[in-house]
Structure 1
Amino acid sequence: MPEILLVLLAGIAAGALNSVGGGGTFVALPALVAVGLSPVTANASSTIALVPGAVASGWVYRRELTPVGATSTTALTVISVIGGGLGAALLLTLPAASFDAAVPWLLAFATVVLAFGRRLSRAVSSALGREIGISSRAVLIGQFFFALYGGYFGGAVGIMMFALWGIGLGLDTAVSNPMRVTQIAAINLSATALLLVASDALSAPLVLAPMFVGALAGGFAGAHFARRLSDRLLRSIILTTAVTMTVLYFVRG
């Protein structure tokens, strides 16, 4: 029972974190390892278990989706689905530590961009005398790599999306959060389709089920909470999460 309660609470926290700004994997994964799952199995299980939270959050946000610049929402979602499936395939074929060395630096880069990206973008625009921005093709290329990473591991992938969309397109955090949540749901659903068949995540149903339920509750409640936050407050929460996760990853590494 203590283990089930731990996993349930971790699922609630992870679902809520993902709906607000990201970082749920950093809560779910250690909890699953703590109750005895191997790192690879825990990674696959956390991806599967967090799907209902992402879907619940996406449902809450369904009427608030805003396009990412000029990029087609359909094209962005298709890229997320393809990348998420390929990322899950990498998880099943590559050593578990393959991306460990790169993840802290990716998080650090995303954190710096989140903190200073808008100022830098405005400064460059002022110096050039025109607005700067990335093309739809660049958005899709970036999304493919985010989805690949999301299907493989997924920790803070939403924070990385915020960073790219913020500096490249000037999107407000609160405005882009519904699309971020929706794309994470697409990535996780695609990855889950493969992991359910090819991984051993279902070998521990008594561990997976409570996290599944917790993530559903946390994702639904967290999305309703996030909708009431101003862009400034939401950015502050996300930036705090990003800094914390980056520090923890460097300390762990």
Structure 2
Amino acid sequence: MTLLEAAAILFAGLAAGTINTVVGSGTLITFPTLLAFGVPPVTANVSNTVGLVPGSISGAVGYRRELRGQRGRIVRLSVASLIGGTTGAILLLVLPEGAFEAVVPVLIVLGCVLVVFQPRISAWVARRHEAAGGLPEHGAWWVWPAVLLTGVYGGYFGAAQGVLLMAVMGIGIDETMQRLNGAKNVLAALVNGVAGIIFVIVADVDWLVVVLIAAGAVIGGQVGATYGRRLPSAGLRALIVVVGIVALVFFLAG
């Protein structure tokens, strides 16, 4: 690997760490960068996942203020993320390459649509739960299995995982977008972490790539937390949709 290639991967990790903290889909930057430098697809995928784990943790730490008072909710949803991330990582190792190509664009479109209409859908869900005293603290009953399925997707590939998580939690949990974004960072870190552990044990990991992406992603996580926390709910929602559309174009073009 040349010095120029190393610098490019480091910068890609920084950009991915920033985007992952604010929205998600940083993989859309790092994964194509690794492919462009000749890293085999599966090695690029697993090395990218492992490398982004420290950035996810950095972003979660940056959102620690928004995480206050969410311990019970996050613990409950963390179980779903861990199960889903483990399942997704195993599927990546056993399924033929490209097995999820048909469903990924559909999930991204669904996530974007749900984010756009989240205020109206959330109001409808809240009205339906008024008779029972409102939404439960941890969200509607379907949030947990939906987070699990999002974890499966995140463990398998991960691009736009944040878009899907924000769509699910934004509709099913009565909470502000910024506080949900903090929870999203924790859940995404868990998915990447458990998938990364599995990949380290059984897959071919390029450790130089991991170190470069991790170094950039840690810095990016703090940058994303610094500026992402200042966005109003409408601005954060718009950014999520834009990133989701970019992710969709990426998959369809590929």
TM-score, normalization: structure 1?
0.89
Q: How far did 1:55 drift?
A: 0.5
Q: How far did 1:58 drift?
A: 1.0
Aligned to 1:88: 89
Q: How far did 1:42 drift?
A: 0.8
Residues 55 and 219, structure 2, Cα contact 8 Å, conserved in 1: yes
Residue 142 of structure 2 aligns to a residue in which SS? helix
**For residues 164-208 of structure 1, what are the alpha-carbon distances to aligned partners after superposition, in whole Å with 9 as ceiling and x for unaligned?**
11222343321211000011011111111111111101xx33333
Query: What is the rounded CA distance, in whole Å, between the counterparts of 2:16 and 2:195 in structure 1?
Result: 18
Q: Which amino acid aligns with 2:23?
A: G
Which of residues 40, 43, 56 in structure 2 aligns to 1:41? 43
Query: What is the rounded CA distance, in whole Å, between the counterparts of 2:124 and 2:190 in structure 1?
Result: 35
Gaps spanning 5+ residues in structure 2: where?
none
Gaps spanning 5+ residues in structure 1: where?
none
Q: Which runs of 4+ in 1 moved over 4 A?
A: 123-126, 128-136
Residues 39 and 96, structure 1, Cα contact 8 Å, conserved in 2: no
Pair 1:187-2:216 in alignment: no
Residues 108 and 248, structure 2, Cα contact 8 Å, conserved in 1: yes
Q: How far did 1:47 drift?
A: 0.5
Residues 118 and 170, structure 1, Cα contact 8 Å, conserved in 2: no
Aligned to 1:110: 111
After superposition, the CA RMSD in angstroms is 2.3
Q: Which amino acid aligns with 1:95?
A: P
Change (3 A) 1:71 1:198: same
Aligned to 1:98: 99
Residues 122 and 170, structure 2, Cα contact 8 Å, conserved in 1: no
Change (3 A) 1:133 1:95: farther
Residues 140 and 173, structure 2, Cα contact 8 Å, conserved in 1: no
Residues 19 and 25, structure 2, Cα contact 8 Å, conserved in 1: yes
